[in-house]
Structure 1
Amino acid sequence: MSDEDIAPGSDVEQEVLDDEPKSILLGIIGQLRKGGDLSRVTLPTFVLEPRSMTERITDFMSHPELINNAPLNTDPVGRFADVVAYFLSGWHIKPKGVKKPYNPVLGEFFRCRWDFEDGSTAYYVCEQVSHHPPVSVYFYANPQNDIWISGHVRPASKFLGNSAATLMRGTHHVQFKRSWPGEEYTVTLPNVYARGILFGSMYLELGDSVVLKCPKNDLVADIDFQTKGFFTGVYNGVKGRIKRESSGEVIYNIAGKWTDSIQFTKASTSEKKTVFNAATAQIHTKVPPAEDAQEEFEARKLWERVTKGITTKNLDYATKEKTAIEDNQRVILKERAAKGVTWQPRFFTGPVDDDWSFGLKE
């Protein structure tokens, strides 16, 4: 796809690399075959987003107004629709062009809280429990509003020619434990595609199908994140249906763009409602611990100098500091192996049936 394939004024955020960074990236890609695994490739700092994957996951929790009152809703279909809208709301938060968050080191963690206008507070912690393959496990709780979200992300990156794909594997759960015990919503994630890495403009797309289920209430949402082909498709499109899983009865049709607005249309009446508008939605500010209270392997402190280099465009400094972190990890792993010590997560236990449980260690 060439630059001309992207219409002027479209909502695709493009990035055109200068000759030097482009040649560096092409040199790395030139060592790969189509379908090759990118997880062990050390990427240059100019393609990095200045935050860790352990923090980036918090984008999912940026619009709590869509779910904070869901436990009070006595209609199971209404609760399900709230969870679907909430799931679709955070994807618009992304850097311009194609940027990849830092690949967290083993034992790295990010924690924060949100203070909401209704007087409630939500808490979040994410820990990197595996480096190869990368696995980030997270837990979010708003106890006052009875909202509990947990899951893990196992991204696997593949080189596809002029694109690179990040396959977002993992399990994700939403629960209202006190209000609706035994009711659990399970969610899969769309895959992420970096387009134009060999020629043309670089841009990011979400693609493929995801499924959101609540088995207890016999509800399922099949959602397709649409991508733009040469002749068909749209940029950033979302299309899907909320239906009864047992009968296939469609309750709502879903349509819109994850970068813009999303509408639910009631199948029985054709009544349409905008459930999310990225242009007007407020991104709630997360509050991490104060800098002097952060620990060595707390994400912002760990990557602080790399972030400074990227944000001030001093990429040589950022690369030096990133290399120092990676070298230190190799030393730690070597020392641990020599002593026969098996590393254990601090905040989570598992996996059991490919799932993790939150639980602080002493």
Structure 2
Amino acid sequence: MNNEDEFYDAVTGLDSDESCEGTSEASFKDAIVFDGHPKNNGAPLQENGIKRHRTTLPAPMFSRNDFSIWGILKKCIGLELSKITMPIVFNEPLSFLQRITEYMEHTYLIHKAGSLSDSLDRMQAVAAFAVSAVASQWDRTGKPFNPLLGETYELTREEQGYRLISEQVSHHPPVSAFFAESLTGDFVFHGSIYPKLKFWGKSVEAEPRGTITLELLRHKEAYTWTNPFCCVHNVILGKLWIEQYGTVEIVNHSTGDKCVLNFKPCGMFGKELHRVEGYIQDKSKKRRCVIYGKWTECLWSVDPQAFEAYKKAERKGDTKKQKQEEVAGAENEDADEMPDVQETVAVIPGSTLLWRISSRPAHSAEMYNFTSFAVTLNELEPGMEAALPPTDCRLRPDIRAMETGDMDQASKEKERLEEKQREARKERAKDEQEWSTRWFQLGTNPHVGTQDWIYTGGYFDRNYTDCPNIY
């Protein structure tokens, strides 16, 4: 095993569609322009030779009941988890490059933003996309495989109008860069992700690092933001559960509009569990609308005055209930228990629905709690291998073995690949050579002025002769 194996965010969706109390059909009609489903007039879908996307994994997930993470983490309290080896049983059969591709599950919200003429409406759609990007993490307690240096992942979704390329551009620190673009030239979406993780005894916390940028080309607008903090509770004892918290600021660098979203921490009695609340202000700092909901369920927009009136009435009704909870409540000494009662979002009259999470497959619990979208990400059909570079995640033998349920082979392949990576690094050091990235180069994000990994182009020209043999 490699002591350089990064413990990435073991992050956790709602596999029930009973959410968003008070939702009406008219609200959905107003909120959704593109529903994310293929429009192909009954013809079979084609994507790199694939007629349709799979709906299940080759084998059910391996049970983790007989394994304990405590023996690994007990010496790591307060330390950054950048060099901790984790047994493969705690993984899920996806690379972290594929995991960040799950941002694209709700691409219809980007299409919607591009179709709107009003900048305030566009910001609402972008805010919904930013929240939806973390929704697939709910109940995802498996850790993605750490990408090898030079590893890549490609995803083309012609029926949803985009294609994406990502690359592992650095190993220490681990940095994953991605670039997605509309097939019709409407948008580009890009960024680089390098979370810093720490273990705090009962939980693992991921500090978000890296700027995410969405450019709506037709409107000549660029939006930037950073993801919220992520915390996985009960990594030692009890049921694993996740919360996201912190302030996310989405800035429209063209208009000066800003959306401020507060991902609320759970709190002692769990009243704020999964809740998101914020507002959109224009360049004169006037609040134009309030946004509220849950990142595990749905997101709504409402007039600020209506929101304040509703909250004022709510606070009066909650006073007695809060006192009762304070008398009855007590923290569990053994585990950070997730609250049993998780009320759905109460919809304020006059609200507009911006986004609602997709329901998960009925057998999701047997497939690492994957969404329908996640199930498709490691799909490899006949003829597809010839069109991909040799660095694509789908060709990784350890992930492929785990997906088919062969855990022993997956563990052996993982160790072999890590050893091969170490040897390659030693050879470069001996020859005083620096690693050269293939599809991205270090530069400056023009919108925020910070260091970023910029896509250099050329990937989809399909010339992969100089790609390294990393597997």
The TM-score normalised by the length of structure 1 is 0.85
**Cα-to-partner distance string for 1:38-66 (whole Å, 9 max, x where unaligned):** 11101111221211111111111111221
Q: Single out whichever of 38-47 and 350-359 deviates more from structure 2.
A: 350-359
Instruction: Go from structure 1 to structure 2 and tell me whether the alpha carbon gap of 1:67 and 1:309 turns closer, same or farther (over 3 Å shift).
Output: closer
Contact 2:64/2:89, CA 8 A, preserved across alignment: no
Q: Which has the higher strand share?
A: 1
Which residue does the alignment assign to 1:138?
Answer: 178
Matches within 5 A, 1:232-311: 232-247=270-285, 249-267=286-304, 271-279=350-358, 290-302=384-396, 304-309=397-402, 311=404
Question: What does the per-residue CA deviation read over 1:224-283, in whole Å, with 9 as the maximum and x for residues that have no partner?
Answer: 222323235433221111112542x22221111111121111225662011111146996
Q: Distance in 2 between matches of 1:219 and 1:49?
A: 39
Q: What residue number does 1:349 align with? A: 441
- Amino acid in the other structure paired with 1:356: W
Rounded Cα–Cα distance in structure 1 between residues aligned with 2:233 and 2:206: 12
- Residues in 2 aligned to 1:176 and 1:279: alpha-carbon distance in whole angstroms: 24
Highest RCO, 1 vs 2 (Cα 8 Å, sep ≥ 6): 2
**Which residue identity is paired with 2:398?**
R
Q: Residues of 2 paired with 1:231 and 1:201: CA distance?
A: 17
Partner of 2:150: 107
With over 3 angstroms needed to count, the CA separation of the structure-2 counterparts of 1:21 and 1:137, relative to structure 1, is same
SS of the aligned residue for 1:306 comes to helix
Name 1:129's counterpart in structure 2: 169
Deviations 1:20-52 (A, max 9, x none): 411xx11111121x3201111011112212111
Q: Which runs of 5+ in 1 are unaligned?
A: 1-8
User: Would you say the 8 A contact 2:138–2:242 is kept in 1?
Assistant: no
Matches within 5 A, 1:12-91: 18=65, 20-22=66-68, 25-32=69-76, 34-91=77-134
Look up the equivalent residue of 1:76 and give its one-letter code: S
Asked if 2 retains the 8 angstrom alpha-carbon contact of 1:185 and 1:213, the reply is yes
% identical aligned pairs: 28
SS of equivalent to 1:326? helix
- How far, CA to CA, are the matches of 1:283 and 1:64 in structure 2? 14
Letter in 2 for 1:238: V
C-alpha deviation, 1:17, in angstroms: 5.1
Residues 266 and 95 of structure 1, relative CA distance in 2, 3 Å threshold: closer
- What is the CA deviation profile of residues 299-334 of structure 1, one whole-angstrom value per residue up to 9, with x for unaligned ones? 1212x333423551x433322211111111001111
Task: Report SS of the residue matched to 2:137.
Answer: coil
Q: Distance in 1 between matches of 2:433 and 2:282?
A: 50
Larger radius of gyration: 2
Does 2:427 correspond to 1:329?
A: no
| Matches of 2:401 and 2:214, distance apart in 1 | 35
CA RMSD of aligned residues (A): 2.7
Secondary structure at the residue paired with 1:21?
coil
CA change 1:190–1:112 in 2 (3 A) is: same
Which moved further from structure 2: 201-210 or 54-63? 201-210
Counterpart in 2 of 1:5? none
Distance 1:52 1:97 in 2: 14
Deviations 1:117-152 (A, max 9, x none): 6xxx31100111101111111100004151111111
Question: Aligned AA for 2:436?
Answer: Q
Which residue of 213, 231, 237 corresponds with 1:199? Answer: 237
How far has the Cα of 1:196 moved from its partner? 0.3
Measure the CA separation in 1 of the matches of 2:179 and 2:110. Answer: 16
1:99 is aligned with what amino acid? G
**Residue type at the aligned position of 1:266:** D
Give 1:82 shift: 1.3
SS at match of 1:149: strand
Q: Report what 2:39 is aligned to.
A: none
Q: Which amino acid aligns with 2:387?
A: A
Residue 189 of structure 1: aligned partner: 227
CA contact (8 A) 2:64 2:90 kept: no
Query: Does residue 319 of structure 1 match 2:411?
Result: yes
The Cα offsets for residues 160-184 of structure 1, whole Å up to 9 and x where unpaired, read as: 110001112001111122x222x21
Any idea what SS the aligned residue of 2:162 has? strand
SS in 1 for 2:219: coil
- Output aligned runs, 1:138-177, within 5 Å: 138-177=178-217
Per the alignment, residue 46 of structure 2 pairs with: none
Moved more, 35-44 or 85-94: 85-94
Separation in 1, partners of 2:400, 2:78: 30
Q: Which residue type is aligned with residue 335 of structure 1?
A: E
Change (3 A) 1:176 1:280: same
More displaced 10-residue stretch of structure 1: 91-100 or 327-336: 91-100
Q: 1:100 corresponds to which letter in structure 2?
A: K
Kept in 2: contact 1:45–1:310 (CA 8 A): no
C-alpha distance in structure 1 between counterparts of 2:137 and 2:401, whole Å: 19
Counterpart position of 1:211: 249
